[in-house]
Structure 1
Amino acid sequence: MKLDASVSAVITGGASGLGEATARALAAQGVKVALFDLNEEKGEAIARELGGVFCKVNVTSDADVDAAFARSRAAIGQERILVNCAGIGNAIKTASRSKDSGEIKHFPLDAFDRIIQINLVGTFRCIAKSAAGMLSLPGLDDGERGVIINTGSVAAQDGQIGQAAYSASKAGIAGMTLTIARDLSSEGVRINTILPGIFATPLMNAAPDNVKAALAASVPFPRRLGNPPEFASLALEMCRNGYFNGEVVRLDGSIRMAPR
């Protein structure tokens, strides 16, 4: 797909981190962008800077997502690109014993469900609704109507202690990628998933310097945290390269996460 002003894109989680970097990279190519996020102040500011539109969205809400797509399409047209970066994490063991009292507790199921609802169901909600919109578009020269890019995590394959919910949600995103590619193949819509390693996102940058240094040292090469523009670069290649479809790709400096 040629990236220019004839193309519109929706980026969930577009007000920070990997989503913001991807929105900036797409806008630099002339693509019209809509940012879906909960951070209204930052999202509005970035959208103004990029000449795009901001939509406040909770991806667990059908009503929010429907309203956001309606607003973005009215402002910049039907999107040909969807990049899903919205997501959260937590760290709770499946079952554990208190060091102080010896009390045994299990993973609270509402906390597990929240991660699944935001990361996995929320991603699929946006995929399904965006893909339905893409089907209304005329095909480009090669018949392509659109492209979808998801954000997984290396935790889908090497989840650490306490990441049962997060790993399950990201493994679900990876696992549904090929199936969705097959579902949409006859309509000219492609889908791929990126599994980023340890990236210098705002959440990671808030960690103490010694923690960040230790994490950077755990990456085989290059021995540093990933930079969000590197994620954006791969996302843009997935958009441009029409033969890139149904793939789950690690972007991690060859790291394999230890148990903790």
Structure 2
Amino acid sequence: MDLFWKRFSVGICILTSALLYIPVLFYYGVIEIHNPKLGNITGYQCNRLPGTPAQLKGLSIFQGVGFFITISNVVVISVLYIIITVSIVKQVRKMKNIHVKPAEPSGMSSDATAMSDVSKPQKSTVSQESSEALETTVNSVSQLESRKQKKMPKPDAKRNAFRVSFMFMTISFVGFLAYLPSWSFIVIETNNPTFWKKLSTTAFHVCLTLRRMYMFNHFANPFIYGVFDVAFRKEIGKLFCVK
């Protein structure tokens, strides 16, 4: 993927995110609240705006669509990571099953015959030429074997494949755990509109933190990549001019 398509992909992500969250501007805002327990005190809070039954129905539809999109996002990413992991494991197994067999060139028999003929009384010129031909053939075979050994997979290939597989599984698992509380509270909010109003101050802040746990997924991903991917760490170091 070249630079143009990278920028195009980022632009599509920004546009899609903006379109998905535009309805929030119409359903949520600053509202006036009263706390009878503290006397005649009026305050303001960012919360769901009051509206007609049709608007509240639209809000429920919006929450349902958001619920479906977040679940689909986690499921699709997990499936893609599993497919990538399976492909990597298959490639490593294919590389592991490659056995280098010593190649026996067809010229060896003639060279062997020439070598046996060298033992017979012949002219020194013929003997020298046969010896040089045999030495050249042996050197060629040695070079061929060394090249094949270089093409063999490194012993770290299996360990690298396991590291990449474990990284993908970790990303999927962290994403699922981060979104699970948010999904649960979306269901609760939809079925019980007064849920947040009935909570105490401590319970409200705890539930609000859990409701926004999905942000932890985006925060944790760069660190997960940094732990398992050496190339990613190097690129981050270059980005911040760290040698």
- The two structures share one fold, judged by TM-score above 0.5: no
> If the length of structure 2 is used for normalisation, what is the TM-score?
0.27
Structure with a larger share of its residues in strand: 1
Larger radius of gyration: 2
Structure scoring higher RCO (CA < 8 A, sep ≥ 6) equals 1
Q: TM-score, normalised by structure 1?
A: 0.26
